[in-house]
Each structure stands twice: as structure tokens, then as C-alpha cells.
């Protein structure tokens, strides 16, 4: 996957010969701890280090703030730091750049840290979809709404057409916002989050259609498109789609009384069987608020689940993964201690590597869509 080079909104990284990444990658992870801490201390308040909950332990322990996509975008917006080092994935760093102050610079320690779900919707495909809806006279009554996990170009597309962005923590409010303005939502790119949220607010499955970007007219008929209230893009998260309803049945049979809590990127059938759904931040809060002795099976990325298991064991709560084979987000995993040390030590030397910079024309409308999300809350 080469997200950045294919992304028209990205700017190629500056290279240098002194602090070459290869020199760092040749060294074992644990040798980076002191270097990261030292560089971090030298950078002081000029730098804000953000860590998404799926980051590995060796990286997230250096974060000034941790959170889900929504919380991290808020923290980035409110920060005066000159540099934001984003230990997360590409679309998160792009969003921080869009929402950031003039002069602020956002760094993604490894440019290959993308999101396979975000890759499932390209701007040209979204434009083709919109044109097809336009030909059927449906765009006036359709509000485009994109999940945060999408390119800046798609966010801009939604902003320019009266739509907005959402994350898993405010999807319901964003759907309500959109339905107050149109009869239909085009939801990009995660069909599962779209279906789960739509169903939660009372839209029956029979009123949802799936747009296949590779199919003729999205694989839909004029009638199915016209009748739909939610048009779901055919995208998914490979990590969360691995959880199955049978996993829920298995943990319930093995551990009577267990609470099953899952991320809304999981399949509809899994979410229907779960006790609660939530963003990464909310899943943690659900366990935090539970009484001692409660046991949880959590359906999300394995680094986060393992960290929850250790943290909440001290409070007498047991946390296990919903699926024993574990679900790893390989792109989040790309941010290694070596990449972090490399980015920070270059900063100390006054060099900005791996800057994520969204082009001005894209930024304008993408910001409109993101600002609407922040207003929705
Ligand atoms: P959150 O916003 O819940 O952290 O989710 C981001 C994500 O990519 C989950 O796969
Ligand atoms: Fe993307 Fe899935 Fe990884 Fe989240 S867990 S960043 S949706 S690939």
C-alpha cells in the first residue's frame, strides 16, 4: 500500500542524509526508549505527541494525550504546539493538519501508516457515484457523510455538498444532523458503521442499499437507489470484520455473565448480539465505569484490548479479546519506536520529516466538513 504517494493531497517528505531512517531501523526497539525520552524533553512545549489507542505500548507510553479519533482531533485543534507528532494513521494526521492553526506542522512518523478502509473509497469513485445519483435526480435530497477514516479529498467533497464528517463517537448525532437536511445519506466508506448507526436511529435494513464502486451503477437499480434512505459505501475494516457472531456465542457460553462490548466497525450481526457498542475511548470508559468483578469480551484491536486487560486487572475486572486469534491493525503497528525516535531527533535538529500537508484548495472544504462534525459534538 502506498497511500501517500497516491494521495493528491499529500506532499512528499523532505529527506536528509544525517538522521537517516535506515540507521534507526537497524537498531532494536528497546534502544530507542532513552533517545525518544531525551528528544521529547528537549522539544518541550513546542511539540505535542498524540497517540491513538491502537498504538503499541512502546510508542503510546510517550504520548502527551491518547484517545479515539474524535478526542485526538479536538486535542490537536486546541493545541498551540508548533509541531504535532501523530502516532496514529494517515487520515488522522491529515485531519489534524486541516484543523490546525497556521504555522503548525503535523508529522506522521511512518508515511506507510495508512488505513485499508480509507483506501476503499477513492475520490474519483465517489465523484462517479455522485454523478450517477445526479443523473437520477437524487442529489438534492442526499447528504454526503463521511467517516473520519477517509482521505481529505473525500472530506472536502462532503463539505462542499452540504455534508459533514463523523467518527464512531458522534455518528448518531451526525446522522441526525444529515437527516434534518435531506431524505437520504450517502455514507462513506464503512458500510458497517453506517448500517449500525442507521439501524440505531430507526432506519430499517430494507431502506439501506450498498453502493459497490466496482459495479455498474453501484450494483443498484434506479428503484433501489430511489427508495433508499441510506446508501452505504461498500467498504469495511479488515480488522473488525474478522469478529463473527459465533465469537459472541462462544464467549457467552464459556463465561456466563460476561459483557460483550464491540467497536461499531464490527458487522451488524455482531453488534446486534453485543451488550454495547462504542468508539475506542468509550469502550475503555465502559470498563472503567463497571463494578469490580465484571468480565468483558472486547471486539477491537488487540493492542488496545491487551492494555485494557492489564490496566483493569488492578481494579478486579477481567478483560479478554472477543476472538482468541486477536485482531491486529498492521498499519497502526507501522509506527515503531525507531520511526518515532527518528522523527523526534530530526525535529530537535530543526528538520521536519514526514510532514503531512493537505493542499489549500482541499483543506478549505474539508475544514468545513470537519467543523460541522465538531459542532455536532
Ligand atoms: P476510534 O475513533 O473509535 O478510535 O476508531 C478509529 C478506528 O480507526 C477504529 O478502527
Ligand atoms: Fe483502519 Fe481498521 Fe486500522 Fe482502524 S483498525 S485504522 S479502520 S484498518
Beta strands 295-299; 259-262: pairing state: parallel
CA quadruple 346, 351, 356, 362: dihedral, nearest 10: 170
In a 3-state reduction of DSSP, which class is residue 134? helix
Tens of pLDDT along 173-203? Answer: 999 999 999 999 999 999 999 999 999 999 9
Report the chain's mean pLDDT, rounded to a whole number.
94
User: Strand ranges (DSSP E) for 27-108?
Assistant: 47-52, 65-67, 83-87, 105-107
**Series of mean pLDDT values for 10-residue runs along the chain (377 residues):** 40 54 90 96 98 98 96 94 98 96 96 97 98 98 98 98 97 98 98 98 98 97 98 97 97 98 98 98 98 97 97 97 90 97 97 97 97 93
The predicted pLDDT at position 11 comes to: 45
CA–centroid distance, 168 to ligand 1, in Å, is 7
Residue identified by cell 502516532 is: 87
244 C-beta neighbours (distance < 10 Å), count: 17
Nearest ligand to the C-alpha of residue 113?
2
Q: Which of 117, 119, 283 to mutate to test the pocket of ligand 2 (most atoms within 8 A of CB)?
A: 117
Check pocket membership of 66 for ligand 1, CB cut-off 6 A.
no
Q: What is the pTM of this model?
A: 0.93
Contact 261, 296 (CB under 8 A): yes
Amino acid at each position: 500500500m502506498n497511500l501517500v504517494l497516491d494521495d493528491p493531497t499529500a506532499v512528499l517528505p523532505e529527506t536528509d542524509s544525517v538522521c537517516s531512517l535506515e540507521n534507526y531501523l537497524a537498531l532494536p526497539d528497546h534502544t530507542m526508549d532513552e533517545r525518544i525520552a531525551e528528544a521529547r524533553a528537549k522539544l518541550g512545549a513546542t511539540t505535542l505527541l498524540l497517540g491513538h489507542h491502537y498504538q503499541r505500548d512502546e510508542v503510546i507510553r510517550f504520548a502527551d494525550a491518547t484517545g479515539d479519533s474524535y478526542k485526538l482531533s479536538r486535542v490537536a485543534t486546541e493545541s498551540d504546539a508548533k509541531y504535532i507528532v501523530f502516532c496514529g494513521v494517515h487520515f488522522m494526521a491529515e485531519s489534524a493538519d486541516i484543523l490546525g492553526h497556521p504555522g503548525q506542522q503535523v508529522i506522521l512518523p511512518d508515511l506507510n501508516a495508512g488505513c485499508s478502509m480509507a483506501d476503499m473509497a477513492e475520490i474519483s469513485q465517489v465523484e462517479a457515484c455522485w454523478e450517477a445519483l445526479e443523473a437520477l435526480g437524487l442529489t438534492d435530497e442526499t447528504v454526503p457523510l463521511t467517516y473520519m477514516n477517509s482521505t481529505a479529498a473525500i472530506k472536502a467533497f462532503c463539505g462542499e455538498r452540504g455534508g459533514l464528517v463523523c467518527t464512531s463517537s458522534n455518528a448518531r448525532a451526525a446522522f441526525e444532523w444529515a437527516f434534518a437536511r435531506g431524505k437520504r445519506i450517502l455514507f462513506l466508506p464503512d458500510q458497517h458503521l453506517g448500517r449500525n448507526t442507521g439501524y440505531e436511529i430507526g432506519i430499517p435494513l430494507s431502506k439501506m442499499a450498498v453502493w459497490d464502486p466496482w459495479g455498474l451503477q453501484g450494483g443498484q437499480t434506479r428503484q433501489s437507489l430511489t427508495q433508499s434512505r441510506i446508501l452505504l459505501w461498500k467498504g469495511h475494516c479488515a480488522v473488525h470484520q474478522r469478529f463473527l457472531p459465533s465469537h459472541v456465542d462462544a464467549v457467552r457460553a464459556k463465561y456466563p455473565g460476561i459483557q460483550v462490548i464491540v467497536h461499531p466497525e464490527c458487522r451488524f450481526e455482531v453488534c446486534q448480539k453485543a451488550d454495547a457498542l462504542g468508539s475506542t475511548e468509550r469502550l475503555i470508559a465502559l470498563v472503567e465505569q463497571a463494578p469490580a468483578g465484571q468480565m468483558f469480551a472486547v471486539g477491537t484491536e488487540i493492542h488496545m484490548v491487551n492494555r485494557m486487560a492489564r490496566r483493569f486487572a488492578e481494579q478486579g475486572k477481567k478483560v479478554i479479546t472477543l476472538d482468541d486469534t486477536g485482531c491486529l491493525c498492521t498499519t497502526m503497528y507501522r509506527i515503531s519506536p525507531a520511526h518515532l525516535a527518528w522523527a523526534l531527533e530530526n525535529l530537535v535538529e530543526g528538520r521536519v520529516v514526514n510532514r503531512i500537508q493537505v493542499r489549500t484548495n482541499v483543506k478549505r472544504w474539508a475544514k468545513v466538513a470537519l467543523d460541522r462534525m465538531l459542532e455536532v459534538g
